[in-house]
Amino acid sequence: MSLPFDGFEISGEPLDIRALAASLTDRTAGALASFEGWVRDHNDGRQVDGLDYEIFAPLALAEGAAILDEARQKYKVNAIRAIHRHGMLAIGDCAVWVGVVSAHRDEAFRACRYVIDEVKHRLPIWKKEHYRDGTAEWVNCQHPGTGQEDHAHGDGHSHGHDPAPAFAESDFYARQIRLPEVGEAGQVKLKAARVLIVGAGGLGSPAGLMLAAAGVGTIGIAEFDTLEASNLHRQVLYAAADVGQPKVEMAAKRLKALNPFIDVKIHAAKADAANLPGLFGQYDLVLDCTDNFTTKYLLADAAVLYGVPVVQASIHRFEGQLLTIDPASDGGCLRCLWPAPPPEGLIGNCAEVGVLGVTPGLFGTLQASEALKIILGLPGILNRHLLIMDALSLETRRIARRRDADCPLCGANPTIHALAKPETAAFELDAAALSPQALARYRIVDLREADERSEHPLPQAFHAPFSRFDAANPAFDASRPVLLVCAAGRRSQSAAQQLRAQGWNDVFSLIGGAKSLAHLFHQAAE
């Protein structure tokens, strides 16, 4: 149901905040999140006593409506109203108001935040500050390009909003074109290349930046997660202000800002057996920047099954490994080295064992280097070796690889002919299928380490860190059904398997980890 006041407006009259909020009253909604932007009395050390807003109305109304549409698509909201003033405003006046009603406060807050951020960045609005000393100045005119013509302002203030940078594309690549191994022809190859980055985290961040800067013409990013504060020390694609936002969108925005001459495609999904065949069909090369064995084996298998090279990197503490699976070479695949993945939980991930940001930084950069060598046809591609490097000692080892005749995937008599479909074991519970009442029946056991728990706190959970977990002698008993929770659902899966092997029947693992329970607590609170 759409409400009478749902949309973007420009107003020459003072805003009546109370009436605006009342216009969004909705008996089916649990939350109204609103934002008020006020005119303040100083800016950049100067005393301000008024503001003049000039708005290019036809474009602002269209762009405002588009922003609200985007917010409606991204978030579950009942209605959104946003209104921007134009004309003269006094100190303390409300210049912009955004209100969002939704069944859930989290969606309302996020949609409100999205609308105000986009309005600030995208709307063709100019601000003239009037200072107490009697002078006035236009400020904040650096809008990103919206493609409109240059336009003059009343006092002769004029500027363009051209989306294209003020230099030619060839200037961007001048230093690498100078290399005879690249040259104009190599730059054309880079422009034509299509590279998919799976996982926009610690490895995918430097890899994406380097490939975008080198001019890889089409970069795809497959990522499903939202940015958390603890990602920032190694995921250098993002800014602190991006926390809580979908990584894939922030990553695409950053890469496009770095290089406006390339195309960045978004795949907002977890890579799995269902979507990988379609994804591999769209790209010439794939970088595996994921952090779990299930996905690594899926990508490695897809390399051979669909004939697309995959550059893989893995990090453990200060050590990293790199290999290129090239179906055209005789260096073999991941299963030639290790026929099956290790059990989940055996080797800790970044959240459990910790990592310095430079370690994935190094290896993500090496992945980009491999990609450029493959695209440009340069020698030294790591398709017959596995590289192991320790970032502390700086010792590297290159281990020769050969196709194994007994490999289940690329050997003489392969037994793997398709990507493994994800199986949900009977002991794995999906948070989407749990109600608050169902959840209350379980003893929730939080397996995360102490320093991980603030990210998505579970105050009602019993804390039993996985680093000290012993299935033969757990810190909790079986007097109630147990729901094991960790950060992503891998440690809890491992612990549930181990406890079931010890004879526990009523023990379950939560798919997706603590964050997947967030919606249940919102429901309970509202």
Q: Residue 448 CB, nearest distance to Zn ion (Å)?
A: 35
Whose Cβ is closer to Zn ion: residue 409's or residue 496's?
Answer: 409
Q: Residue 408 CB, nearest distance to Zn ion (Å)?
A: 8
Smallest CA-to-CA distance from 484 within 451, 519, 517 is with 517
Whose Cβ is closer to Zn ion: residue 87's or residue 414's?
Answer: 414
Beta bridge partner(s), residue 171: none
Whose Cβ is closer to Zn ion: residue 86's or residue 385's?
Answer: 385
Q: Residue 409 CB, nearest distance to Zn ion (Å)?
A: 5
Cα 410 to Cα 279: distance, rounded to the nearest angstrom: 21
Query: In a 10 Å sphere around its CB, with 0-12 CB exposed, 13-18 middle and 19+ buried, how is residue 505 labelled?
Result: exposed
Whose Cβ is closer to Zn ion: residue 64's or residue 411's?
Answer: 411
Whose Cβ is closer to Zn ion: residue 29's or residue 311's?
Answer: 311
Whose Cβ is closer to Zn ion: residue 332's or residue 513's?
Answer: 332
Whose Cβ is closer to Zn ion: residue 19's or residue 340's?
Answer: 340
Whose Cβ is closer to Zn ion: residue 324's or residue 509's?
Answer: 324
Find the angle CA(38)-CA(42)-CA(43) to the nearest 5 degrees: 95
Cα 99 to Cα 82: distance, rounded to the nearest angstrom: 6
Smallest CA-to-CA distance from 217 within 371, 365, 370 is with 371
Residue 434 tokens, joined: 């749990």
300 touches Zn ion by CB under 5 A: no
Kindly report the three-state secondary structure assignment for every residue of 400-449. Answer: ECCCCCCCCCCCCCCCCCCCCCCCCCCCEEEHHHCCHHHHHCCEEEECCC
Residue whose C-beta lies closest to Zn ion: 407
Q: Are 56 and 115 in contact (CB under 8 A)?
A: no
Whose Cβ is closer to Zn ion: residue 248's or residue 409's?
Answer: 409
Q: Residue 338 CB, nearest distance to Zn ion (Å)?
A: 10
Helix pair angle (518-525, 105-122), 10° resolution: 110
Cα 321 to Cα 339: distance, rounded to the nearest angstrom: 17
Q: Residue 190 CB, nearest distance to Zn ion (Å)?
A: 30
- Contact letters (x/-) for Zn ion, 410-439, by CB under 5 A? x-----------------------------
- Contact letters (x/-) for Zn ion, 317-356, by CB under 5 A? ---------------xx-xx--------------------
Q: Binders of Zn ion among 374-413, rule CB under 5 A?
A: 407, 409-410
Q: For the sheet containing 79-85, what is the strand order? A: 7-11, 79-85, 94-102, 31-38
Q: Residue 342 CB, nearest distance to Zn ion (Å)?
A: 17
Number of amino acids touching Zn ion (CB under 5 A): 7
Which conformational region is residue 232 in: left (phi greater than 0), alpha (psi within -120 to 50 degrees), or beta?
alpha
Q: Residue 321 CB, nearest distance to Zn ion (Å)?
A: 16
Q: Binders of Zn ion among 487-526, rule CB under 5 A?
A: none
Q: Residue 384 CB, nearest distance to Zn ion (Å)?
A: 13
Residue 495 CA, distance from chain mean position: 28
Whose Cβ is closer to Zn ion: residue 338's or residue 462's?
Answer: 338
The total of other beta-carbon atoms located within 10 Å of residue 183's CB is 14
3-state class (DSSP) for residue 496? helix
Q: Residue 334 CB, nearest distance to Zn ion (Å)?
A: 7
Q: Residue 312 CB, nearest distance to Zn ion (Å)?
A: 13
Residue numbers of the site for Zn ion (CB under 5 A)? 332-333, 335-336, 407, 409-410
